[in-house]
A and B are shown apart, each in its own frame.
Chain A
């Protein structure tokens, strides 16, 4: 089974509007972390936001917020006030466990291409 599922291959949004990128995950480990990264065409993965499995509140970082629904195993990224520079590939990723060999291993989804129209 896929550990990270991003069901939207592509999304379009008008500039200044909000957009939600979907991510569902699958793990039996009670301790895990969820990450969102942005990858422009240049290739570099840019960290956006992190949510820990024990965090009580949804994470927010500027225009980015994470809609964390633990029971549904979803961690959707919400981008408010979209900008043209937000056009890129977006990846959801998960790290299972809290120590040892889990530190480095991120499992990524297939990604969603976001296009922001003027």
Chain B
């Protein structure tokens, strides 16, 4: 068990809708990252939040946005869903102390299907 939880576990949406995915990090972790994993692929970095501010983004459009809250929870919001957004969405938390050795601990993921 990593201590990182995600909700919901599965979700079905239709094209054009909006979705919010939630993540609860390990207590004390100050950084959360979100990844998209398409079927049969490795995870792709979406963005990370450090102390409640976005601090790095991958090659994803602005319709992917996020929030990080003081209580170690975070959200990934996706607007105007497209069929290609169907994937497993993973969040990962870590405690950044500046050594560069920090390990990211992943949650079980949310499987999103866009019809």
Contact indicator A33/B109 (Cβ below 8 Å): no
> Does B102 lie within 8 Å of A43, measured CB to CB?
no
Greatest chain B CB density within 10 A among A91, A103, A108 is at A103
**How many residues does chain A have at the interface if contact means C-beta atoms less than 8 Å apart?**
31
In this assembly, does A84 line the interface, its C-beta being within 8 Å of a C-beta of chain B? no
B interface SS class: strand
Number of A-B residue pairs with CB-CB distance less than 8 Å in the complex they form: 91
Whether A105 pairs with B33 at a CB distance below 8 angstroms is: yes
A8 is an interface residue with CB less than 8 A from chain B: no
Q: Within the complex, what minimum Cβ distance (angstroms) separates A103 from chain B?
A: 5
Cβ contact of B100, chosen from A33, A45, A106, cutoff 8 A: A33
What is the CA–CA distance of A91 and B88 in the complex, to the nearest angstrom?
15
- The answer to whether the Cβ of B28 comes within 8 Å of any Cβ in the partner chain is no
Asked if B96 contacts A103 (CB within 8 A), the reply is yes
**Docked complex Cα distance between A33 and B101 (Å):** 7
Known: A104-B55, A105-B48. 20 other contacts (CB 8 A): A4-B42, A33-B100, A43-B108, A44-B108, A46-B106, A47-B2, A47-B106, A52-B101, A91-B42, A98-B100, A100-B55, A101-B48, A103-B50, A103-B100, A104-B32, A104-B48, A104-B49, A105-B33, A106-B104, A111-B42
Residues of A within 8 A of B44 (CB): 108
